[in-house]
Amino acid sequence: MNSPKIVFILSDNQDFIESLSSLVTRELQVECKKITTKSEIPAGNNYILITSNPITYDYQPPVITVILPVRAKALLTDIQATFANIANIDLLEITEEFQLSLKHKTITHLPTGATTALTDKETQLLQIITGAGTEVISREVLLKEIWKMDSDLDTHTLETHIYRLRKKIKDAFGIEMIKASDGGYKL
3-state percent breakdown (helix, strand, coil) of the chain, nearest 5: 40, 20, 40
**Model confidence pLDDT, tens digit, residues 76-100:** 888 888 887 777 677 888 888 999 9
pLDDT at 165: 96
Q: What is the pLDDT along the chain (187 residues), one digit of tens a residue?
A: 445 578 888 888 888 889 999 998 898 888 888 888 877 777 665 678 888 877 655 556 678 888 888 888 888 888 888 887 777 677 888 888 999 998 889 999 999 999 999 999 999 899 888 877 778 888 888 888 788 777 666 678 899 999 999 999 999 999 999 999 888 999 8
Contact present, 187 and 176 (Cβ < 8 Å): no
Q: How many CB atoms lie within 10 A of CB 128?
A: 20
Name the strands in the sheet holding 179-181, side by side, starting at the edge strand that comes first in the sequence: 137-138, 184-186, 179-181
All structural domains of the chain, each given as residue ranges with its CATH number in brackets, are: 6-87 (3.40.50.2300), 91-186 (1.10.10.10)
pTM over 0.75: no
CA dist 85 and 158 (Å) reads 28
128: left (phi > 0), else alpha (psi -120 to 50), else beta?
alpha
